[in-house]
Structure 1
Amino acid sequence: MLPDVQKAFILLLILLVLDGLRMNSVEFETVHWIWDGILYPQLFGLGGIMIAAAIIGLSTGYFGGIGIPCSSPYHWPDLGILYKRRKRPVRVYMDGCFDLMHYGHANALRQAKSLGDVLVVGVASDEEIVANKGPPVLSMEERLILVRGLKWVDEVIVNTPYDINENFLNTLFNEYKIDYIIHGDDPCLLPDGTDAYGLAKRAGRYKQIKRTEGVSSTDIVGRILSSLRAADANMSQNTTAIHQHHNNTDKLQAGKNLPIGPQLSHFLPTSRRIVQFSNGKGPEPGARVVYIDGAFDLFHAGHVEILRSARQLGDFLLVGIYSDQTVSERRGSHPIMHLHERSLSVLGCRYVDEVIIGAPWEVTKDMIATFNISLVVHGTIAENNRRCEFDPYAIARSMGIFQMITSPSNITSTSVESRIIDNYEAYEKRNLKKKESEDRYYAEKKFVTGD
């Protein structure tokens, strides 16, 4: 017998089958086989069976009495080492300002994560936002808390540039091992009119997702300004209110191009979107279920921090979200974001397991039994609600399952609104500029698959 001829025959047979299967190879992200330094797609089905049969037959002498001295194909000394490599995670990157974080941001990052295994998010610096869009409402620290609090985010890069220039593109590819850069189907133009993602597109490392319609930071600022103008107009009927709010009135009356009265949301909620955001799991048997409720309007860093604190007290965090009517009755004004928008923002938080959409103001005994609630909590920082004739947590207190927890942050939805009104002229100018590009997007947009 000629051992070298036998080995050459085995090598030729395997290479022929591999070459035939190579035509059906998938992208580099999938599992591969490495043989003697050559990369081949993993073998499945009939092809894999053929090779396995050939190797077994040749190594055991079933084909013409040919024998191979080594019993395992993984240790053939002259054919190299055949081994299976673990799948390399596909790393995708998405950046943004993430100012006034809303469910549109969350949905964009959810879609980005679906295109890879690890989602890396870049958060633009305050200076970059001022230079390209105008003053941000939230600080860098607050925006980072919001981004890191999203369930789909794995890593965060701080102080990224607004435009992806060549140097930063190389940093993403080489240092952070990014495979694809993701952005929505709406154009992102620099002040000079060029595409902020042009380099990534030319490099063939760009993927597009569908923009979430019905919401944007520009839209939310517009809702706040319109709502405050309406509230101030109502107060002006009272002479005391005029004296107390004349500064706001002077500023708001200057905004002639913004409609008086609350702006309606254009978001069209679907059951599919709620399913996409939901964990889809209930508490395990014997789990300690913690309940916290609130309006969660203009979802902000304070919300994320209190939800994290609440989650640490148990195994499952259930969040009750008040209806629009309940918020209006308790605060005397309509929420900026409606119930379904607020529900999605809360569901996107990594510390939340489930929500009650339209939760009652009072935590009842039946509710505690239905959801098997072990602990009801409330933060020390809350919005200024109208005086209530009864304690909504009275039953939980009587059962010994109520606990006040210290709010890690003193930010509230009202304080966020105040920041915008205090810088009214700057935000109005910013909104008018952004509104032009958004109107152009909606006028020219086409259906985008995916999402």
Structure 2
Amino acid sequence: MGSGVGLETSRRFLATWLIGGLVAGLSVVALTAVWPELSPLNIVGKRKKKRPIRVYMDGCFDMMHYGHCNALRQARALGDQLIVGVVSDDEITINKGPPVTPLHERMLMVSALKWVDEVIPDAPYAITEEFMRKLFDEYNIDYIIHGDDPCILPDGTDAYALAKKAGRYKQIKRTEGVSSTDIVGRMLLCVRERTSSENPSHASLQRQFSHGHNQKYDDGGSGSRTRVSHFLPTSRRIVQFSNEKVAGPNARIVYIDGAFDLFHAGHVEILRLARGLGDFLLVGIHTDQTVSANRGAHRPIMNLHERSLSVLACQYVDEVIIGAPWEISKDMITTFNISLVVHGTVAEDGDYEKDNRDPYAVPKSMDIVKVLESPLDITTSTIIKRIVSNHEAYQKRNERKGESERKYYEGKSYISGD
């Protein structure tokens, strides 16, 4: 009798449990139909979804080059979003000497890089406690990034000491082969050599850049051992800078060519306009020999591979032709399926004898050439003139910075990274 009552009770409990579960299930289905966001699947998904990791890197980014670009590429790889602080003109002048490119041009350059998500203007040269708290609290920064080369303030302290103490610091590998000091030094050498060109024993900078004399220093009579380019190009670096985009068969391909020497804000802006005219921007970069023939023996300042990486790093560029021909042929237009050839209104006007042949004759005959009004009146010569006009200040700046770089190279050891 007792066992029968117990069995009946169990059956009633089970039936009640099943009915209750069914009602609850139907209620959830009905509720989800009215408010989908309350679905258990959505709730679980939201719990699992984490906010993006935000990393911060600062710098002067004066005379922007592929070394800066590669540093920012590495920094971006350490998080999901990269926020970049660009140091003010005043702070650069106080800590390093006068900048070659003003803040608004440096902002344009940094903002145009394919790895940068956000830019903070007038960032401090040294990260203070107050600014670090602002980065963490207002900008939601998780980590502060810098290269393996030391950044020492005038008082001898580490510029990133506070970030390291807070446990929010990460390090990347410095890019070999170039620095702003190197580039300014090349221009100073160029100016000195041009004024003493009567001396036949002085080898031209063009030959040094183009034919691999890249591990030497040049005193130039100033006592500031300026490093001449020792960039060692690799196929891996080119792949890292490429966006791997391929133009579709029906894509409108826009082509623009040039030297793109000392890649600057004027280049960025004309590339932005060119990219807006189609689906895919192909950029032709002339050889060192072509640039030298058309702009003089002391050009280019940067060699072909250096110039190619700087252009590839720009978010508006989809592909480059490394060593593009001076004249655009019908075969080239067909091979690359070019729909439109463009060039800007601002160009170099050096005192050399120009070739009378029009490099755009063929695309003009096909009615596929468009001239773009250049947004900025800046050329490579503009940058060089800035150096020349303030020669003594930049010479002193390079002597100070050159000494710290010499110590870095003498004491450096292998660090993994790319």
Residues 349-364 of structure 1 mapped to structure 2, 5 A cutoff: 349-364=314-329
2:406 alignment partner, SS class = helix
State the distance in 1 between where 2:147 and 2:28 align.
47
Decide which of 432, 437, 444 is 2:404's aligned counterpart.
437
**8 A Cα contact 2:182 2:228, kept in partner:** no
1:93 alignment partner, SS class = strand
Q: TM-score, normalised by structure 2?
A: 0.84
Q: Which residue identity does 1:120 align to in structure 2?
A: I
Aligned to 1:181: 144
Aligned to 2:362: 395
State the distance in 1 between where 2:146 and 2:26 align.
49
State the distance in 2 between where 1:353 and 1:330 align.
26
Residues 276-291 of structure 1 mapped to structure 2, 5 A cutoff: 276-291=240-255
Q: Which residue identity does 2:240 align to in structure 1?
A: Q
1:120 alignment partner, SS class = strand
State the distance in 1 between where 2:26 and 2:197 align.
86
Deviation (angstroms), 1:450: 1.7
Aligned to 1:268: 232
Aligned to 1:5: none
Aligned to 1:9: none
Q: In the alignment, is residue 89 of structure 1 matched against residue 52 of structure 2?
A: yes
State the distance in 2 between where 1:363 and 1:235 align.
37
RMSD over aligned Cα, in angstroms?
Answer: 2.4
State the distance in 2 between where 1:271 and 1:83 align.
44
Residues 38-437 of structure 1 mapped to structure 2, 5 A cutoff: 68=21, 70-71=24-25, 83-85=44-46, 86-234=49-197, 256-258=222-224, 264-333=228-297, 334-384=299-349, 386-437=353-404
Q: How many residues are matched?
A: 370
1:375 alignment partner, SS class = strand
Deviation (angstroms), 1:158: 0.6
State the distance in 1 between where 2:272 and 2:99 align.
25
Q: Which residue identity does 1:218 align to in structure 2?
A: T
2:307 alignment partner, SS class = helix
Aligned to 1:450: 417
Which structure ranks higher in relative contact order (CA pairs < 8 Å, sequence separation ≥ 6)?
2
Which structure 1 residue ranges, 5 or more long, are not aligned?
1-60, 76-80, 238-252
**8 A Cα contact 1:383 1:412, kept in partner:** yes
Q: How far does the alpha carbon of each residue in 1:401-434 deviate from its partner, in whole angstroms, 9 at most, with x for none?
A: 0111111111111110110111111111110100
Deviation (angstroms), 1:189: 0.8
**8 A Cα contact 2:342 2:371, kept in partner:** yes
Which structure 2 residue ranges, 5 or more long, are not aligned?
1-13, 30-39, 201-218
Aligned to 2:37: none
**8 A Cα contact 1:255 1:428, kept in partner:** no
Deviates more, 1:84-93 or 1:204-213: 84-93
Aligned to 1:240: none
Aligned residues with identical type, % of pairs: 64
